[in-house]
Amino acid sequence: MTTTVDATRMLDRDRGLDLLRQMTLIRRFEEKCVELYSSGTIRGFVHLYIGEEAIAAGAMRALTTEDAIVSTYREHGHALARGIPARAVMAEMFGKVEGCSGGRGGSMHLFDLDTRFYGGNAIVAGGLPLALGLALADSMKGRKAVTACFFGDGAVAEGEFHEALNLAALWGLPVLFLCENNLYAMGTALDRAQAQTDLALRASSYEMPAWSVDGMDVLAVEDATRAAAEAVRAGGGPHFLELRTYRFRAHSLYDPDRYRQKDEIRQWVQRDPLSALKERMQAEDRLTDDDVAAIEQDVTAEVADAVEYAKAGHEEPVTSLTRWVYSDDGARP
């Protein structure tokens, strides 16, 4: 079943502006990253979230500060929407000490325990077992927290996906599985990777409530996430959401993107979640051109400030190379 937007909530202008600002921040932040990557300031692998912003913006708005997040290497959007300062994320991309992972993680490993953001994980499906453990710890400690675990459609083929969904359901763990189905795992289309292409059906085979959501509709994502998270929080055990989306850019800034039809991309770009929300708000007279201009200005300034902050940041001296291999040198929490 696909959730439908509850129209009464649509009337909330602040909510719309908030979501629009969030998605715009992610979009502009990543556009800046592309620039900085071309100029060689940002290195390594960079996986853009452009086109998928509605999921991070909508889902995070439905979660509380008590909840825990487990993410992937395509996590700039998750990190920003969770509230990690753009400064700390950008500084991490620069590899500076001021980065949210001290410059040791880079784009694929953004961490922030203050917001219970347990990191980008660069092993496909590698984060799912971690999510079970976080949820188990919270439930053993009697916390009412939900662990939200993001992963892509490609992860569904991994053995760890199966082991994790079975164990979560078997133990009734408070995990919310958020599958970002953008139809491709690098160059491999969903139907060339999965015998069962209905991912919600796949998840429900573990006796876990699962449904699909239009991942290009930020309001639908927020509503579905809230409903599922509440069910999990209420003791309903793990839930699964398939968020149908599409990445507008290549898999990573390395990828020439030879495997997708230009037409397919064009069609999805027409469903750009930012434009979609704008149009909807405008249609309901909830958004003025000034609002949009203000958001753009505001967000551009935030990104520029983040870049300045990152530039001004410090490089860790090589003398402390082996720091954090063990906690002895101060990491013990």
Ligand X SMILES: Cc1ncc(C[n+]2csc(CCOP(=O)(O)OP(=O)(O)O)c2C)c(N)n1
Place of tokens 């069609």: 267
Which helix (DSSP H) or strand (DSSP E) does residue 275 occupy?
Answer: helix 273-283
By CB under 6 A, tell whether 215 contacts ligand X. no
Question: How far is the C-alpha of 12 from the C-alpha of 283, rounded, in Å?
Answer: 14
Q: Counting contacts by CB under 5 A, is residue 138 touching Mg ion? A: no
Task: State the burial class of residue 16 (Cβ atoms within 10 Å of its Cβ: 0-12, 13-18, 19+).
Answer: buried
Q: By CB under 8 A, is residue 130 in contact with another protein?
A: yes
**Structure tokens, 132:** 């079970």
d(CA 75, CA 131): 16
By CB under 8 A, which span of 6-14, 166-174, 179-187, 244-252 interacts with a copy of itself? 166-174
Binding mask 80-119 for another protein (x = CB under 8 A): ------------x--xx--xxxxxxxxxxx-xxx----xx
Q: Which of 153, 214, 217, 272 touches Mg ion (CB under 5 A)?
A: 153
Measured CA to CA, the distance from residue 35 to residue 40 in angstroms comes to: 9
**Total residues found in the chain within this entry:** 333
Tokens 């870049």 correspond to: 307
Stretch that binds a copy of itself, among 31-39, 73-81, 142-150, 201-209 (CB under 8 A): 201-209
Q: Does the footprint of another protein cover residue 194 (CB under 8 A)?
A: yes
Binding of residue 205 to a copy of itself (CB under 8 A): yes
Name the residue nearer to a copy of itself (CB basis): 26 or 125: 125
Quote the strand ranges of 90-136, DSSP E.
Answer: 117-121
Distances (CA, A) of 277 to 268, 292, 297: 15, 11, 18
- Minimum distance, C-beta of residue 208 to Mg ion, in the bound complex (Å): 21
If the CB atoms of residues 304 and 331 are measured against another protein, the closer one turns out to be 331
CA 30 to each of CA 33, 88, 94, 322: distance values in angstroms, whole numbers, following the listed order: 5, 14, 13, 31
User: Which of ligand X, a copy of itself, Mg ion, none is residue 74 near (CB under 5 to 8 Å by kind)?
Assistant: ligand X
Nearest partner of 105 among 117, 115, 114, judged by Cα: 117
**Residue 182 makes contact with ligand X by CB under 6 A:** yes
- For the CB of residue 139, give the shortest distance to ligand X in the complex, in Å: 26
Query: Which of 160, 255, 257, 305: binder of a copy of itself (CB under 8 A)?
Result: 160
Least separation, in Å, of the C-beta of 54 and another protein? 25
DSSP secondary structure string for all residues of 18-34: HHHHHHHHHHHHHHHHH
Is residue 128 near ligand X by the rule CB under 6 A?
no
Residues in a beta bridge with 210: 240
The pair of structure tokens assigned to 88 is 């700390």
CA distances to 52, 139, 194, 233, 264 from 189, rounded to whole Å, are: 17, 37, 9, 34, 12
Task: Give φ, ψ of 277 to 5 degrees.
Answer: -65, -45
What part of residues 134-163 is at the interface with ligand X (CB under 6 A)? 152-155
**Pattern of binders to ligand X over 44-83, x per CB under 6 A?**
------------------------------x---------
Residues 161-220 contacting Mg ion, CB under 5 A: 182, 185
CB of 227: closest distance to Mg ion in angstroms?
24
CB of 125 to another protein, least distance (A): 7
Name the segment binding ligand X (CB under 6 A); options: 129-137, 138-146, 182-190, 313-321: 182-190
Q: Which residues bind a copy of itself (CB under 8 A)?
A: 157-163, 165-166, 169-170, 192-196, 201-202, 205-208
Q: Which residues bind Mg ion (CB under 5 A)?
A: 152-153, 182, 185
